[in-house]
């Protein structure tokens, strides 16, 4: 180390410059390769419901309180994965909401199209997912949000969110059982 380096600190060497440039090049290359895949996942399938529309629909159906957009995207992805026709059903429901000019979900529920049928089922699946934090039924559920489930919103700040499962062994995989015939 020269006396000048001791006073001013280490100088930038060619080796350090080349290592930094190589690392930056690799990082940019990886980003360029992964970017198209990330953009493809962010866009809805052809004819699918846009994430912003699902977020707006969810916010209306759950009472108008602000909802997290990232969480909405996760719910939409899981609902879409479990039911390939979900996007079309949600689009039909969104058209009904927009066409009804209802100011609140309670007014929307007075629509005859929501008495029973596919629109009613879609509405129930969306609201159930947001309030329970899970998507699915007894045949299989998928946890999307736990602490952010809307069922905890009324008591937030008053009661702690439980840190335990809904039953024995709910956090682990079910054990494989041998069938006895």
Around Cβ 21, how many Cβ atoms within 10 Å? Answer: 10
Task: Report yes or no: 102 and 57 within 8 Å, Cβ to Cβ.
Answer: no
> Of 66, 55, 60, which Cα lies nearest the Cα of 102?
60
**Tens digit of each residue's pLDDT, the chain (181 residues):** 566 555 655 666 778 767 877 777 777 766 665 554 444 344 555 568 999 999 999 999 999 889 999 999 999 999 999 999 999 999 999 999 999 989 999 999 998 888 888 999 999 999 999 999 999 887 788 999 988 999 999 998 898 887 766 666 666 666 677 765 5
Domain ranges, ordered by start, for the chain: 11-40, 47-155
- Kindly give, in sequence order, each residue whose CB lies less than 8 Å from that of residue 73, ignoring residues fewer than 6 positions away: 51, 54, 55
């Amino acid at each position: 180390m020269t006396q000048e380096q001791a006073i001013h600190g280490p100088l930038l060497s060619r080796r350090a410059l080349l290592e930094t440039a190589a690392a930056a090049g690799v990082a940019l290359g990886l980003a360029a390769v992964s970017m198209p895949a990330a953009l493809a996942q962010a866009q809805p399938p052809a004819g699918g419901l846009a994430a912003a529309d699902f977020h707006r629909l969810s916010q209306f159906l759950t009472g108008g309180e602000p909802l997290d957009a990232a969480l909405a995207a996760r719910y939409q992805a899981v609902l879409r994965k479990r039911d390939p026709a979900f996007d079309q059903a949600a689009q039909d429901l969104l058209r009904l909401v927009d066409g009804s000019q209802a100011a609140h979900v309670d007014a929307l529920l007075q629509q005859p199209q929501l008495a029973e049928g596919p629109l009613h089922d879609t509405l129930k699946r969306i609201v159930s997912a947001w309030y329970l934090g899970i998507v699915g039924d007894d045949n299989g559920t998928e946890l999307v949000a736990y602490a952010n489930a809307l069922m905890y919103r009324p008591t937030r700040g008053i009661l702690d969110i439980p840190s335990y499962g809904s039953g024995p062994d709910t956090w682990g995989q079910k054990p494989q059982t041998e069938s006895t015939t």
